[in-house]
Structure 1
Amino acid sequence: MDEQGDDVALIRRWFRTLQVCVQTVDFAGSRPLFADDMITFGSFTAFTMGREATEHEQWRQVWGHIDQFRWRLDDLRTIISGDRLTAAGMAVFESTGYSEGGKAFDRPGRATVVLGRQAVGDEWVAQHTHVSLFPGTPSRSIGPKQDHPPAL
């Protein structure tokens, strides 16, 4: 595999690891994927500053209320800097949400993730994420998470 292919493979692995964390509602397991001082666009504020705030204000409001979260990694798009220490990964995701009455609905969306690392070959760490649902998708999944096995 060439250098660009190695970098993309590690980005793909980052997305797969996050997918499993979302599916299993594993906040602790997801933390190494994100920089402590990450910045995200918030659902309730213009910006969410830091991994801890993002976990509490974003992830804990969503992960336990959706099912079957999966990235469409065959369509992953990447931009990698010339020094190979910064990258952007863009992917579409699918998931199942639940209305207040427990009715399931399709919950598709997309994400852009800015990644960084200290040295070529290191694992990527997210410094910024922008996750959004496709237009027309209900903004909240209210019902309880169902018991579905993780999709790999």
Structure 2
Amino acid sequence: MSIQATAPVDPQDHALVRDWFRELSDHVQAVDFAAARHLFADDFIAFGTYSNFVPGRDNAEANQWRKVWPTIDGFTWRLDDVQALVSPDRLFAVGMAVWDSTGYLPDGKPFDRKGRATCSFAREKVGEPWIATHTHMSLFRGTPDVSHGNKPSRS
């Protein structure tokens, strides 16, 4: 058997990867941290803007999400472009997506805040929703790395 990065992916698995990204964007837009927690394993590991590795969901929420989500608007993934790689047993996947959002300069002027993400997912049974085990999110080059918006959080 030869390894192929573009091996066919079951449409249901791909749809569930897109669903994960869609749901995360809903929670980011609502600045609802509590509602997003179930999308991530308790011990997931992120690459972060503020730390090299961010171990654990609670740590990522405190030191990443809460520093970004309240400062941006219009966070949406380009769902039609989401890519997925799924293991043969269909219990592990990698999802890749590009997002669009609006950030704010210190003077309040908006700027396009676009970026991309690679996320690894796992699940116990085929057909269950994907749970993120790792995320790596980064802004496109030339995008200011800090946004200065200030929205209240829902949770």
TM-score range with shorter-chain normalisation? Answer: over 0.9
Other-structure match for 2:66: 60
Residues 52-109 of structure 1: CA distance to partner in whole angstroms, max 9, x if unpaired? 0000110000000000000001111110000000000000000000011100000000
Other-structure match for 2:85: 79
Residue 3 (structure 1) shift: 7.3
- How many angstroms apart in 2 are the aligned matches of 1:44 and 1:16? 25
Contact 1:102 1:144 in 2 (8 A): no
The answer to which of 37-46 and 76-85 deviates more is 37-46
- How many angstroms apart in 2 are the aligned matches of 1:71 and 1:45? 24
- How many angstroms apart in 1 are the aligned matches of 2:150 and 2:47? 25
TM-score (norm 2): 0.90
**Gaps in structure 1 of 5+ consecutive residues:** 147-152
Q: Does 1:29 align with 2:16?
A: no
Other-structure match for 1:134: 140
Amino acid at match of 2:57: R
Residue 145 (structure 1) shift: 3.9
Identity, in percent, stands at 54
- How many angstroms apart in 2 are the aligned matches of 1:6 and 1:131? 24
Contact 2:48 2:137 in 1 (8 A): no
Contact 2:96 2:119 in 1 (8 A): yes
Describe the SS at the equivalent of 1:119.
coil
Q: Give me the CA root mean square deviation.
A: 1.5
Could you list the structure 1 runs, at least 4 aligned residues long, displaced by more than 4 angstroms after superposition.
none
**Gaps in structure 2 of 5+ consecutive residues:** 1-7
- How many angstroms apart in 2 are the aligned matches of 1:105 and 1:95? 9
- How many angstroms apart in 2 are the aligned matches of 1:65 and 1:145? 6
Contact 1:87 1:114 in 2 (8 A): yes
The answer to which of 36-45 and 137-146 deviates more is 137-146
The answer to which of 38-47 and 18-27 deviates more is 38-47
- How many angstroms apart in 2 are the aligned matches of 1:144 and 1:122? 35
